[in-house]
Structure 1
Amino acid sequence: MFKLTSLNLNGIRSASSKGLQAWFQQTAPDCICVQEVKAQADDVMGRFDQMAELRGYFHFAAKKGYSGVGIYSRQEPTEVIVGFGEPEFDAEGRYVELRFDSPDVKRSIISCYFPSGSSGEDRQQAKFRFLEAIYPHLQRLKLEREFVLCGDVNIAHQAIDLKNWKSNQKNSGFLPEERAWMTKLLSDGGLVDVYRQLHPTTTDEAYTWWSNRGQAYAKNVGWRLDYHLATPAWAARARQVAIYKDEKFSDHAPITIAYDFKL
């Protein structure tokens, strides 16, 4: 089985101080996609590569202490792609892709951090631009190779993906336009929400993010914002999923899916 974990760290140094590395070593995933690293190369290169004997590959933001994504992999990729060709978002460190090519199949693992629009209208418009740009990129990629995009998408797709859906219909992350984009990606776009393939009706247990306000985590007033979005052939190999909530490394929980193949 190939165990693939995705986690928004909300700061790699902060998450590491809360027991993250020990959990990874115990869980022993084959690959870990991380988002919101909030660090630069000097902060992480070589420092965290001993996490479960994995090597890290990153896309850092130009702005210090902001965004940033990475992938820790047990197997060495044949190619590393940093950014997806959109200068506005490539400067923010939102996309890294590891390619694992063989004579039989071409596969990619992507760690991606979608913008949040919750801080104001300017960032919401940036989020819409990101959605408009990433969609055709993923469509082109789907024609060339099998892939899974792991990441904090910052969108709860359906009412079952967040606790208080009625009161959040006008809030970023559950806007009609964002949800319609997800529907398009999973229908016309031909990608698969792997968690929902395995658990089509789960509600409370599906959440991966909780606000720091009030007692959202204690009361499980959460959102499902973290996804594995895969091509159909990749998604068909998914066998089991786990969202780990026994420890709190950040405001997100790690989601691990086991696929019945090896890279």
Structure 2
Amino acid sequence: MTTPFAITTINVNGIRASVKQRNENNPGMLPWLADHAPDVVLMQEIRASEAITRKALAPALDDGWFLTMTESDVKGRSGVGVLTRAEPSAVRIGFGSDEFDTSGRYLEADVDLGGSTVTVASLYLPSGAALTDDPKDVEKYEEKVRFLNEFGPYLDKLVGADGQVVVAGDWNIAHTERDIKNWKGNRKNSGFLPHEREWVGARITSGWADVARIHHGDVDGPYAWWSWRGKAFDNDSGWRIDYHLATPALAARLQSTHVHRADAYDRRWSDHAPVTATFL
């Protein structure tokens, strides 16, 4: 007998900031976690050591959550983690990259979910930059290209094994015009560049299923990231860069996906909203 299970991805934008009570209407991440209680939470941009993260998440860990994470080799940067209700049977850091396996961008865990072993992976893909004459932009652009060139074949091999796997997180790429509100104004910006979008398309062609797009169909969004600036959140002028890609064996079990969009700007505890996929 199988039972439903929920996998949430959320870029916490700094774990210490996300758990902090921001105002009387916004108690932060921990009450959200207690109220919604998914089976797995895939976190990105933790930006803290494991010791600091454990302290920030102490109420959840005391309540029985298991934390697995990897830090960035650059202090205060990146960092991904997995919160699970059941202790993982195996954990793997990175994807075999000499450059990126110590950068806190990818982590896999095998977890018993719905009566079978499911591999859940948290991803924080480099944000990159548009290619300009600025050396810093060139460096960020080339870093993202290198990551895509290494990570793409790894994903193709993973989906080819036909296991039950979901890779979710902040992909920092909006795949189609449906995935970004102001797509015309962002055609030359990182996250919506032609080669980036083609890269995501190639992963789907190789067999990965974008489960939110399958569930919601050919509609705008639903977006899960909005700039803190201006009226982006109020106008729902966002990006869909937080999503789950699942292997066919797991995608066949999809029940629904949902963006937990805050009901007001001042109730946000990250510039990203949690996105949950439920499987049976």
Determine if the TM-score, normalized by the shorter chain, exceeds 0.5: yes
Paired with 1:11 and 1:79, the residues of 2 have a C-alpha distance of 26
Structure-1 residue corresponding to 2:133: none
Measure how far apart 1:235 and its partner are.
1.0
Code of the aligned partner of 1:248: R
Structure-1 residue corresponding to 2:53: 44
Paired with 1:55 and 1:106, the residues of 2 have a C-alpha distance of 16
Paired with 1:237 and 1:106, the residues of 2 have a C-alpha distance of 13
Q: Tell me: CA distance 1:49–1:111, structure 2 relative to 1, closer, same or farther (3 Å).
A: farther
Measure how far apart 1:190 and its partner are.
0.7
Code of the aligned partner of 1:123: K
Structure-1 residue corresponding to 2:170: 152
Code of the aligned partner of 2:89: T
Measure how far apart 1:167 and its partner are.
1.2
Percent identity (aligned): 40
Q: Tell me: CA distance 1:158–1:120, structure 2 relative to 1, closer, same or farther (3 Å).
A: same
Q: TM-score, normalised by structure 1?
A: 0.92
Paired with 2:56 and 2:116, the residues of 1 have a C-alpha distance of 33
Structure-1 residue corresponding to 2:126: 115
**Cα shift readout 1:74-94 (whole Å, capped 9, x = no counterpart):** 111111101111122122100
Structure-1 residue corresponding to 2:144: 127
Structure-2 residue corresponding to 1:243: 259
Structure-1 residue corresponding to 2:204: 186
Measure how far apart 1:34 and its partner are.
0.3
Paired with 1:115 and 1:47, the residues of 2 have a C-alpha distance of 25
Q: Indicate if the aligned counterparts of 1:59 and 1:83 stay in contact, CA closer than 8 A.
A: no
Match status 1:24 vs 2:22: no
Code of the aligned partner of 1:208: A
Q: Indicate if the aligned counterparts of 2:86 and 2:112 stay in contact, CA closer than 8 A.
A: no
* Equivalences for residues 66-215 of structure 1 within 5 A: 66-100=77-111, 106-118=117-129, 120-144=137-161, 145-187=163-205, 189-204=206-221, 206-215=222-231
Q: Secondary structure of the equivalent of 1:25?
A: helix
Q: Indicate if the aligned counterparts of 1:31 and 1:54 stay in contact, CA closer than 8 A.
A: no
Q: Which runs of 4+ in 1 moved over 4 A?
A: none
CA RMSD of superposed structures (Å): 1.8
Structure-1 residue corresponding to 2:24: none
Q: Which runs of 5+ in 2 are unaligned?
A: 22-27, 130-135
Q: Secondary structure of the equivalent of 1:209?
A: coil
Q: Indicate if the aligned counterparts of 1:5 and 1:256 stay in contact, CA closer than 8 A.
A: yes
Q: Indicate if the aligned counterparts of 2:160 and 2:207 stay in contact, CA closer than 8 A.
A: no
Measure how far apart 1:126 and its partner are.
0.7
Paired with 1:209 and 1:257, the residues of 2 have a C-alpha distance of 17
Measure how far apart 1:95 and its partner are.
0.7
Structure-2 residue corresponding to 1:256: 276
Q: Number of aligned pairs?
A: 257
Segment of structure 1 superposing worse, 27-36 or 86-95? 86-95
Q: Indicate if the aligned counterparts of 1:49 and 1:55 stay in contact, CA closer than 8 A.
A: no
Q: Indicate if the aligned counterparts of 1:55 and 1:73 stay in contact, CA closer than 8 A.
A: yes
Code of the aligned partner of 2:175: H
Q: Secondary structure of the equivalent of 1:65?
A: coil
